[in-house]
Amino acid sequence: MDGSRTSLDIEEYSDTEVQKNQVLTLEEWQDKWVNGKTAFHLEQGHQLLKKHLDTFLKGKSGLRVFFPLCGKAVEMKWFANRGHSVIGVEISELGIREFFTEQNLSYTEEPITEIPGAKVFKSSSGNISLYCCSIFDFPRTNIGKFDMIWDRGALVAINPGDRKRYADTMLSLLGKKFQYLLCVFSYDPTKHPGPPFYVPHAEIERLFGKICNIHCLEKVDAFEERHKSWGIDYLFEKLYVLTEK
């Protein structure tokens, strides 16, 4: 496509069927951590979140912020340092331990009684709790409602066939006057099988439109040299803000 990377007005592929049968198991995600295949981790944090963070927070403190499929996201500390309570879910215990180690945070661990075999890791300061379990098991903890969700690398990593279940899980965790911050990618899904999976605007409307107002706040060129190995020649990242209707 000529000039595909010079314009942010790429026509989206409305056909998401091409990736619908793609599946990664939880074990495969755990293996990515063990084998160091975590190029999705942003050591400096997400720049769009950094840019808009103060606008999102509006000077508030004491918000409950949820990080689905959190990995070792440094952004969790950004919120905690501003006086907010952070709760994350991650299937990789290694990823969770690396977060606390790399952020120089002491922590405790304990079993999650509602989910056999699962653990929760809590910072000694008490404002970061990371649950090592499946995102679909997490609601069994009866953790309560959240003011904000930071969904970067989560919806785009969920198997396409599980998206409706995932979206319903996220919506069940949101409190009143919520902000759901969602990052997705646009690229040619016929050239790369994912993950990250391709999630067009129409899919976001299908998943969240009945409950949420959906606003695309910003769209940026995210193409890097490493993406050439995916067989694609453009990659855009979009930041959406979903709010209560």
pLDDT digit string, tens, across residues 104-156: 999 999 999 999 999 999 999 999 999 999 999 999 999 999 999 999 999 99
Answer yes or no: is 40 a known binding residue.
yes
Question: Domain 26-33+42-244 carries which CATH code?
Answer: 3.40.50.150
The pLDDT of residue 32 is above 90: no
**What's the alpha-carbon Rg for the chain, to the nearest Å?**
18
Place of tokens 């495969």: 28
Per-residue model confidence (pLDDT) at position 144: 96
Answer yes or no: is 225 a known binding residue.
no
The pLDDT of residue 6 is above 50: no
pLDDT digit string, tens, across residues 72-117: 999 999 999 999 999 999 999 999 999 999 999 999 999 999 999 9
Answer yes or no: is 137 a known binding residue.
no
pLDDT digit string, tens, across residues 8-31: 555 566 566 888 877 677 777 676
* pTM, two decimal places: 0.92
Answer yes or no: is 35 a known binding residue.
yes
Answer yes or no: is 232 a known binding residue.
no
Judged by DSSP in three states, 106 sits in: coil
Judged by DSSP in three states, 89 sits in: strand
Answer yes or no: is 30 a known binding residue.
yes
Answer yes or no: is 134 a known binding residue.
yes
- Ramachandran area for residue 134 (φ above 0: left; ψ -120 to 50: alpha; else beta): beta
Answer yes or no: is 82 a known binding residue.
no
Mean pLDDT (whole number) for 37-46:
72
Q: Name the DSSP class of 15.
A: -
Answer yes or no: is 152 a known binding residue.
yes
Answer yes or no: is 36 a known binding residue.
yes
pLDDT digit string, tens, across residues 161-172: 999 999 999 999
Answer yes or no: is 39 a known binding residue.
yes
Residue 192: half-sphere exposure toward Cβ, Cα within 13 Å: 21
Neighbours of 238 (CB within 10 A): 22
**What residue type is assigned to position 196 of the chain?**
P
Answer yes or no: is 80 a known binding residue.
no
Answer yes or no: is 154 a known binding residue.
no
Answer yes or no: is 78 a known binding residue.
no
Judged by DSSP in three states, 55 sits in: helix
